[in-house]
Amino acid sequence: MSTNKNTTKETNQTDGHELRNAGIPFDLGFINSININRSAVERRAATIATRRTVKKQHQAAWLLKAITFIDLTTLAGDDTPGKVKRLCQKAKQPVSKELLEALDATELNITTGAVCVYHNMINTAVDALKGTNIPVAAVSTGFPAGQSPLPIKLSEITASVNEGAKEIDIVISREKIFTGDWQGIYDEVNAFRIACGDAHIKTILATGELATFTNVAKASWVCMMAGADFIKTSTGKEPVNATLPVSLVMVRAIRDYYQLTGVKVGYKPAGGIQKAKQAIEFMILMKEELGNEWLEPHLFRFGASSLLGDIERQLEHYVTGCYSASHRHAIS
């Protein structure tokens, strides 16, 4: 997938010393030309888990790395300040000191990539994470359905940024995809990008609702054209969330966008990633399709709430040879 459009690059950099995505002009002709071969995607995705074997100490190293990609998340109706504070403590110390000592990993200063909450818990999370480099991410723009009017969506973003959120996870208006209003999605995401200011914008496509891989690819491109720092699969509330085939479509769009602009856009699979084995499969996908450069927290995240507990269990099994009960690794 290629095009000869002129591009612009922004001079400000991310914490990972990468150029932020300033976006490029919208090109409907290019978007309409995108067509994805579903069977080819599914064949390639089916090989990902079988092409590379990660065992023993290598698996432990990959799992420790995976922890740094986790956006430790609580998005429930029963969230309380106490629950969020406990989540933040877990983000700061995701693995027990004893386990880190056994793994000879105490000097790595491992934390999760971020803590993700609803707007009304931002202040609690910011206070709990003072003195760390762990950013607070907030879901916004009428999450999860995205059916709020645009002025309300923009006010949500502004309010969250003012409360101290450093990352904003927005949802796109999926109905615009099914009416073919790609310009409308571009304009909306671009307005969100401007409202975010220095906060990074992660655009949620809700891929489980988009019906086709072609729609997923088109939505990925439109969001990146509009200035998204990350593209993200799901809200976690759809019947189908992050899958390897959908992820393959999205990361190849990221790769093509990088080849076109020289700007790296991040990727965040979210929803349904509960097991350490799944995390490694997604990491293999990133390594094979985008390279080691993308295996850093400023370019790759997991949206997950229960993944960390299973990673801890697997690390404990590596150290002791025994699996501990899941309740010993509660997140909050």
Q: Look at residue 224 and give its three-state secondary structure.
A: helix
Burial 126-156 (b: 16+ CB within 10 A, else e): bebbeeeebbbbbbbbbbbebebeeeebbeb
Distances in whole angstroms, Cα of residue 146 to Cα of each of 3, 39, 142, 153, 170: 31, 31, 4, 8, 8
Output the six-digit token pair for 282. Answer: 């997604």
Catalytic residue (one of 71, 169, 229, 256): 169
Q: Please say if 85 is a catalytic residue.
A: no
Q: Please say if 268 is a catalytic residue.
A: yes
Catalytic residue (one of 166, 232, 264, 310): 232
Q: Give residues with Cβ within 8 angstroms of 102, minimum separation 6.
A: 319
Q: How far apart are CA 275 and CA 150, in angstroms?
A: 37
Helix (H) or strand (E) holding 204: strand 200-204
- Beta strand 167-171 pairing with 136-139: parallel
Report DSSP letters for 88-111, one per residue. Answer: HHHHHS-S-HHHHHHTT-GGG---
How many angstroms from the chain centroid is the CA of residue 216? Answer: 15
Q: Give residues with Cβ within 8 angstroms of 148, minimum separation 6.
A: 141, 142, 156
Look at the alpha carbons of 34, 39, 42, 46 in this order and tell me if their dihedral is positive or negative.
negative
Q: How far apart are CA 198 and CA 161, in angstroms?
A: 9
Q: Please say if 275 is a catalytic residue.
A: no
Spatial strand order in the sheet of 200-204: 266-268, 230-232, 200-204, 167-171, 136-139, 114-117, 70-73, 302-304
Residues classed as catalytic: 169, 232, 268
